[in-house]
């Protein structure tokens, strides 16, 4: 069946095209269609087993390099080290599986949202069936409280209102109608004669015909987009992959050079040179790096969880730290997703609505709660959000709502109608007369008003009064307020003919109320904090342009009156991708958008090289959440769909928690960067030492020496750097962006000169020990020199760990002993290194000699020079940076 714009079709044409009627389908036809087209359900997301997830962890390039290192260590006879490296690999894989075990649940969550049953007409009889048994052409009967079971074209509407915020982003229920719409390419929120799967009926009733089921519905289309979306590679993953490839190439080249040069010199045997090359490769591989990164990220997730940010995937922590753009859904994220009375207009004035109180006989207060279908229950207020806001406003001011409702019960009514946009109810007064309470759209109500209640008196409504009221209505509307007007009329008896013409005329205007879905109180400061951190917050919403602009201005996302920064979905449709890519930087507010618009916005920024975070809580946000570099779902108001598609969930739905998460992400990246600089400079020092010893024909450090130094210095101290306290002003720096990497900000230069320095000092100590030996015997002198080089190469890395507490800052300003875990790591590492020389038996296993006090003094002095020299270099670096 060809796709047609159902909202443009008449009932007769729909019945003809869908081969149905107002009597409904026959049971036989319904069964045939069910067998042919399938059930009214969303596709089940294909899941992977825990074993598959575990094995997938070993596809990472750096993990492969580590496994090669384990094999190399095993070949050299160091089985213990090989086992340790493999344990690190497995631990890394377990962490990854643990974080991703609940990933890819978004489609399944969508399926669970489906309505359990539906009331339909089949064989001209009303019956209830399971919603997954609905087929195209079924006639569905709706009433307040129903979940719409499929996409419907409405045919008979009676005051129907549908809450579609999870699909369109609009917080206010949409008034539905059954009239044919003639416009082309209407957005979902403007298709007023359509009702969509998984929306909620908040008011009224209607009959509709099913025009789409399952994956053909609007929700199904979103599910398809979500299913097809590609997983985004995070900056962390990209950096680690590139680092692993670069290191591998470098390692192979250097190892080959050392092997060839050694064989050319004929100083060592083939086996010895092969072992030397292997030792050099082991020295160059930072086997502790993946574990350190994983542990640092895991600890970051624990800290973030305590601050209400739940991370579902480890790399998302670091990604937050590089975020350039936060594209935020409005409803329920920036706002509270509930209507609240913001302004009250009475006596042609706008008093402070927050301090305003009404006496019991105030007509405006009475009409607000009488012409109202809100139900007061033990669990709170139930009904249309706009109407419950009016009642809640009075309850908050201790107005006797329940007593007034009891004393003035409803005896007649004219229900709300979307065409006349009014609602009227009739109530008895104490003097035997009756009060007609009317509420509705200001422009429609004013047509029926002839008098004005002002300061407890009633006077004729003048032209100047009418103009003042219309002007105020316009001003409130431009402030993103939804305005309702209230009027009344006192009659001697209940009108015999309850029609609009006979009841809703000659009214007395009591006042107006401006309502809004209010912004969260903490969001304005969070937006300011994001801007100070160089992050651009943007608002994406299904609301109209004026409403979106007004709220964005109140939050500080745009300047007041900056309409050029606002664009609608329709305007976006008129742009091709190339034009939009050029202009995307001009817009901070996107109004009246559809799900595909959100994905397009995210993609446009990503093509500019920006790291994009997308927040949201509705079904409509899920594709963009998955497309973004980091999707941020809402834990309280968010649908399971949005949570399942997110990398991170805000447990408190607090926008400011995002800023906290960004801060934590920046801290995590900075600490990983410190660990990388420390590890690679240390490994470069080891490589340089082995390389130069080979080139100079000196006795070289054995594989066991290098493996032990790596085991001692590449684990605890490096992990301790991952939990360093946050440095000052980290949130005053601009985002790193997508193009940055772990070598940015002078880190690569630091690795090179610090590695050369470590290797140079170690070689200098070795040369001094050979040139000025303590023992006259050559073999003993060589043993001393090798031992001093071994001790220096290990200790110099431990001293350098203090330098690595800050990339550019002095160790005296970042808290030398503030990190207790770091302090203990250094002590333990020093003890493990020293005992190989000092403990009898161990020194023979490690082929090292005892050192006297003088020799230890040279080792310690030389190692400590690492701190002195690096501090001097940092001093001049800071001067140049300024």
Sequence-distant (≥ 6) Cβ neighbours of residue 472 within 8 angstroms? 345, 350, 512
Number of H helices, E strands in the chain: 33, 25
Is 185 a catalytic site residue? no
Angle between helices 853-881 and 747-771 (to 10 degrees): 150
190 DSSP assignment: G
Only one residue has tokens 């999707």, namely 631
42 DSSP assignment: P
Continuous H helices in 76-217:
79-100, 106-112, 165-168
Dihedral of CA 849/850/855/861: which sign? Answer: positive
Residue 317, CA distances (Å) to 322, 492, 659, 722 in order:
10, 70, 12, 13
Ramachandran area for residue 400 (φ above 0: left; ψ -120 to 50: alpha; else beta): beta
Continuous H helices in 496-639:
500-503, 523-532, 545-555, 569-573, 577-583, 595-607, 622-627
In sequence order, the β-bridge partners of residue 436 are 426, 489
For every residue of 392-415, DSSP letters joined together read: HHHHHTT--HHHHHHHS---EEEE
Tokens, residue 297: 């990220």
Contacts of 74-79 spanning 24+ positions with Cβ under 8 A: 75/278, 76/275, 76/278, 76/279, 76/282, 76/703, 76/704, 76/707, 77/703, 78/703, 78/704, 78/707
In degrees, rounded to 5, the angle at the alpha carbon of residue 698 between the alpha carbons of residues 696 and 700 is 120
Q: Count other C-beta atoms under 10 Å from residue 382's C-beta.
A: 15
CB-based burial label for 579 (10 Å; 0-12, 13-18, 19+): exposed
- In angstroms, the CA 81 to CA 71 distance is 10
- In angstroms, the CA 419 to CA 504 distance is 14
3-state secondary structure of 424: strand
- In angstroms, the CA 687 to CA 279 distance is 9
Q: Which phi and psi (to 5°) does residue 29 adopt?
A: -65, -40
CB-based burial label for 584 (10 Å; 0-12, 13-18, 19+): buried
Q: Which phi and psi (to 5°) does residue 198 adopt?
A: 75, 5
Q: Which phi and psi (to 5°) does residue 877 adopt?
A: -65, -45
Residue 66, CA distances (Å) to 54, 58, 59, 61, 98 in order:
16, 10, 12, 9, 21
Which residue among the candidates 146, 329, 543, 647 is catalytic per the annotation?
329
Tokens, residue 451: 């008098």
Alpha-carbon Rg of the chain, whole angstroms? Answer: 36
839 DSSP assignment: S
Per the CB < 8 A criterion, the answer to whether 538 and 333 are in contact is: no
Known catalytic residues? 329
């Amino acid at each position: 069946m060809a796709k047609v714009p159902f909202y443009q079709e008449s009932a007769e044409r729909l019945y003809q095209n869908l081969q149905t009627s107002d009597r409904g389908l026959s049971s036989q036809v319904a069964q045939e269609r069910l067998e042919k087209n399938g059930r009214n359900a969303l596709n089940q997301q294909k899941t992977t087993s825990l074993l598959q997830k575990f094995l997938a962890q070993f596809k990472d390039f750096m993990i492969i390099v580590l496994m090669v290192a384990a094999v190399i260590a095993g070949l050299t006879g160091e089985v213990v080290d090989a086992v340790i490296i493999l344990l690190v690999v497995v631990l890394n894989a377990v962490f990854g599986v643990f974080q991703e075990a609940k990933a890819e649940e978004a489609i399944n969550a969508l399926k669970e949202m489906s309505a359990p049953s539906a009331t339909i007409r089949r064989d001209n009889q009303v019956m209830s069936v399971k919603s997954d048994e609905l087929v195209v052409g079924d006639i569905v009967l709706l009433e307040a409280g129903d979940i719409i079971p499929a996409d419907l074209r409405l045919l008979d509407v009676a005051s129907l209102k549908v809450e579609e915020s999870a699909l369109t982003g609009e917080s206010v229920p949409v008034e539905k109608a059954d009239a044919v719409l003639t416009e082309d390419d209407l957005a979902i929120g403007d298709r007023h004669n359509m009702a969509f799967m998984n929306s909620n009926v908040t008011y009224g009733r209607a009959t509709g015909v099913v025009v789409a089921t399952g994956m053909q519905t609007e929700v199904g289309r979103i599910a398809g987009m979500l299913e097809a979306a590609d997983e985004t590679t995070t900056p962390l993953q990209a950096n680690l992959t590139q680092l692993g490839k670069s290191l591998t190439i470098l390692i192979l080249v250097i190892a080959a050079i050392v092997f060839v040069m050694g064989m050319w010199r004929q100083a060592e045997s083939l086996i010895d040179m092969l072992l030397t090359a292997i030792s050099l490769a082991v020295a160059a591989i930072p086997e502790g790096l993946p574990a350190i990164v994983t542990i640092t990220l895991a600890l970051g997730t624990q800290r973030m969880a305590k601050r209400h940010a739940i991370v579902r995937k480890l790399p998302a922590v670091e990604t937050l730290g590089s975020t350039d753009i936060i594209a935020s859904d409005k409803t329920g994220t920036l706002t509270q997703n509930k209507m609240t009375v913001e302004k009250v207009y009475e006596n042609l004035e706008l008093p402070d609505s927050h301090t305003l109180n009404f006496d019991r006989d105030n007509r405006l207060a009475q009409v607000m709660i009488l012409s109202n279908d809100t139900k007061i229950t033990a669990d709170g207020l139930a009904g249309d959000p706009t109407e419950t806001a009016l009642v809640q406003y009075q309850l908050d001011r201790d107005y006797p709502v329940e007593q007034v409702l009891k004393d003035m019960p409803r005896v007649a009514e004219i229900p709300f109608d979307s065409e006349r946009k009014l609602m009227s109810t009739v109530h008895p007064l104490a003097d035997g007369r009756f009060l007609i309470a009317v509420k509705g759209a200001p422009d429609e109500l004013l047509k029926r008003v002839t008098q004005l209640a002002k300061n407890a008196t009633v006077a004729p409504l003048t032209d100047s009064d009418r103009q003042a009221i219309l002007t105020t209505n316009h001003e409130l509307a431009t402030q993103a307020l939804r305005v309702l007007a209230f009027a009344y009329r006192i009659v001697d008896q209940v009108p015999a003919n309850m029609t609009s013409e006979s009841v809703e005329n000659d009214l007395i205007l009591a006042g107006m109320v401006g309502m809004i879905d209010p912004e969260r109180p903490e969001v304005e400061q969070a937006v300011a904090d994001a801007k100070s951190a160089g992050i651009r917050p943007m608002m994406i919403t299904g609301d109209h342009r004026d409403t979106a602009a007004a709220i964005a201005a109140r939050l500080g996302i745009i300047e007041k009156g900056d309409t050029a920064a606002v664009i609608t979905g329709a305007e976006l449709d008129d742009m091709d991708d190339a034009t939009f890519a050029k202009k995307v930087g001009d817009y901070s507010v996107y109004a009246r958008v559809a799900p595909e618009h959100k994905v397009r916005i995210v993609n446009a920024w990503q093509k500019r090289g920006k790291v994009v975070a997308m927040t949201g809580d509705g079904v409509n946000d899920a594709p963009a959440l998955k497309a973004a570099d980091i999707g941020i779902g809402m834990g309280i108001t968010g649908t399971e769909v949005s949570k399942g598609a997110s990398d991170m969930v805000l447990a408190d739905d607090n926008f400011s928690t995002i800023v906290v998460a960004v801060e934590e992400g920046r801290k995590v990246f900075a600490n990983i960067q410190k660990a990388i600089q420390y590890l690679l400079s240390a490994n470069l020092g080891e490589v340089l030492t082995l390389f130069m010893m080979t080139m100079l024909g000196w006795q070289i450090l054995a594989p066991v020496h290098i493996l032990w130094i790596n085991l001692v210095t590449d684990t605890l101290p490096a992990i301790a750097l991952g939990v360093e306290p946050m440095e000052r002003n980290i949130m005053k720096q601009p985002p790193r962006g997508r193009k940055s990497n772990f070598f940015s900000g002078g880190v690569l230069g630091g690795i090179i000169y610090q590695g050369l320095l470590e290797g140079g000092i170690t070689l200098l100590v070795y040369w001094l020990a050979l040139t000025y030996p303590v023992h006259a015997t050559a073999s003993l002198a060589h043993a001393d020199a090798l031992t001093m080089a071994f001790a220096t190469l290990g200790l110099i890395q431990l001293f350098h760990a203090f330098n690595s507490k800050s990339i550019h800052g002095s160790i005296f300003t970042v808290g030398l002993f503030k990190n207790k875990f770091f302090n203990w790591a250094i002590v333990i590492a020093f003890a493990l290194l020293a005992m190989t020389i000092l403990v009898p038996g161990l020194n023979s296993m490690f082929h090292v000699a005892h050192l006297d006090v003088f020799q230890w003094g040279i080792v310690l002095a030389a190692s400590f020079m690492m701190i002195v020299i690096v501090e001097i270099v940092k001093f001049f670096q800071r001067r140049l940076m300024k």
